[in-house]
Amino acid sequence: MTERRRLDRVAIVGASLAGITAAESLRTRGYGGSITMVGAEHHRPYDRPPLSKRLLQGTWEADRTQLRSAEALAGLGLDWRLGQAAVALDPTTREIRLADGGTVGYDAALLCTGTTARQLPHPTPLRGIHTLRTLEDAVAIRAALDRAPRVAVVGGGFIGAEVAAEARRRGLAVTMLEALPVPLSRGLGERMGRLCADLHVRHGVDVRCGVTVRGFDGDAGRLSRVLLSDGTTIDADLAVVGIGSAPATDWLAGSGLLVDDGVVCDPFCRSSAPGVYAAGDVARWHNGLFGVQTRIEHWTNAREQAIAAVATMLADHGAGGEPTPYSPVPYVWSDQYGSRIQVAGRPSPHVDAVRVVHRDDATDATVALYRDGDTLIGALAINAPKLLLPYRRMIADRIRWEDALTAC
């Protein structure tokens, strides 16, 4: 739905990567009105990828994760409302209510509230069980790792994998628990999932697949054992639960906004309410490049979608340009044991969809391509960033599978 209302007041909810990118983009594109930045956390915007990498390793302290310097932030002229969760949005009065009872009025609002870490369905008061989403989470896990515990990583996704890699770098005993038959197989297929899991096995992680956590057991209020669905137990003093995340949309209940595994948007990042847009991990929209309704929890998408949503917002309000659909090639990376894993596009788990087109046993360098019918749809690279680049472009160009196989 397009707007022809004046744009004098923009409210951004979620003061993280998508939020700060949007604020910068508004200013860069000449918007001179007010920008209110509402953030549930007390921190200025900080970066999450280092939380499971350099911060856990101890090579970075918390202040290095800041996304922008104090001077750069001051230059944006934002009205900061940090440590204030938005608790309601009224699209009729165009007001956002904050936890302290205050309100923020808007002509346009951009929702960038990201996700929260999923928890296991076993509430327990035991100490030693963590999830990893925020700076505080990372600092707490690092402190726990410093006590040299036995570590259980629940979930073989990228965040769990990075925690496992850091724990092994420290020489700790690590068990990785994965409900699927092969870690990452739902996204990358069994063959490539196994290749990624082999990294952990080679570095001494006890990788157990096809098991789920049944509960936890402890001594003197501390975790000491993880109870598994196959009846076995694992001795562990630290459990890091990395079983995915859920879009932070609870506060929108009652707003009338269409929410379905994220804020549902059109191809231009517009929500179902006039003047309300969404970007980053919380947004679910139609990606016309692949013809799918999708939500992406990747760093690059949070940046690119924030810029796209701002472009739509300005165009809708007659403040420049024409709206264009947001149709990116998804991209994510992960660093484990000094190896870089990169995924572009939308890999398919189907067994006949994948073809390894490059493999060097000496360096582990691997490139695998994925097809959807006769079209290149995704690519996985391990230790081969330069080789991945042209495939990212080919995926964007919807190149034919046969052409992709002969191109590089």
Ligand X SMILES: Cc1cc2nc3c(=O)[nH]c(=O)nc-3n(C[C@H](O)[C@H](O)[C@H](O)COP(=O)(O)OP(=O)(O)OC[C@H]3O[C@@H](n4cnc5c(N)ncnc54)[C@H](O)[C@@H]3O)c2cc1C
113 counts as binding ligand X under rule CB under 6 A: yes
Q: Which of 25, 36, 52, 336 binds ligand X (CB under 6 A)?
A: 52
Nearer to ligand X, 114 or 183 (CB): 114
Given a contact cutoff of 8 angstroms between Cβ atoms, the answer to whether 21 and 311 are in contact is no
Q: Where are the alpha helices (DSSP H) in 248-317?
A: 299-316
Burial of 347 (0-12, 13-18, 19+ CB in 10 A): buried
Nearer to ligand X, 13 or 395 (CB): 13
Q: Which of 22, 114, 304, 366 binds ligand X (CB under 6 A)?
A: 114
Cα separation of 309 and 267, whole Å? 10
CA angle 281, 246, 195 (to 5 degrees): 80
Q: Which of 31, 106, 216, 251 binds ligand X (CB under 6 A)?
A: 251
CB of 115 to ligand X, least distance (A): 5
Q: 245: which 2 tokens?
A: 């995340």
Strand partners, 235: 225
Tell me the number of residues near ligand X by CB under 6 A: 36
At 379, is the secondary structure helix, strand, or coil? strand
48 counts as binding ligand X under rule CB under 6 A: yes
51 counts as binding ligand X under rule CB under 6 A: yes
Which range, of 146-154, 176-184, 295-303, 386-394, touches ligand X by CB under 6 A?
A: 295-303
Q: Name, in order, each residue with C-beta under 8 angstroms of 91's C-beta and a sequence gap of 6 or more.
A: 255, 256, 257, 273, 274, 275, 276
Residues in 198-237 at the binding interface with ligand X, rule: CB under 6 A:
none
Q: 347: which 2 tokens?
A: 């890999």
115 counts as binding ligand X under rule CB under 6 A: yes
CB of 325 to ligand X, least distance (A): 19
Q: Parallel, antiparallel, or unpaired: how do β-strands 108-111 and 365-372 relate?
A: unpaired
In angstroms, the Cα distances linking 319 to 6, 303, 314, 398 are 9, 21, 5, 32
Q: Which of 23, 39, 104, 166 binds ligand X (CB under 6 A)?
A: 39
Q: Which of 346, 338, 344 is nearest to 363 (CA)?
A: 338
329 counts as binding ligand X under rule CB under 6 A: no
Given a contact cutoff of 8 angstroms between Cβ atoms, the answer to whether 351 and 190 are in contact is yes
Q: Which of 132, 228, 276, 329 binds ligand X (CB under 6 A)?
A: 132
Cα separation of 163 and 177, whole Å? 13
Q: Which of 11, 38, 104, 240 binds ligand X (CB under 6 A)?
A: 38
Nearer to ligand X, 254 or 373 (CB): 254
Cα separation of 358 and 217, whole Å? 45
Q: Which of 80, 333, 337, 401 binds ligand X (CB under 6 A)?
A: 333
Given a contact cutoff of 8 angstroms between Cβ atoms, the answer to whether 18 and 39 are in contact is no
Q: Which of 133, 225, 284, 392 binds ligand X (CB under 6 A)?
A: 133
Cα separation of 363 and 337, whole Å? 13
Nearer to ligand X, 115 or 287 (CB): 115
Q: Which of 213, 302, 344, 354 binds ligand X (CB under 6 A)?
A: 302
Binding string, 9-28, against ligand X, x = CB under 6 A? ----xxxxxxx---------
Q: Which of 297, 307, 343, 344 binds ligand X (CB under 6 A)?
A: 297
Nearer to ligand X, 197 or 296 (CB): 296
Residues near ligand X (CB under 6 A) are 13-19, 38-41, 48-49, 51-52, 85-86, 112-115, 132-133, 159, 248, 251, 280-281, 297-300, 302, 332-334
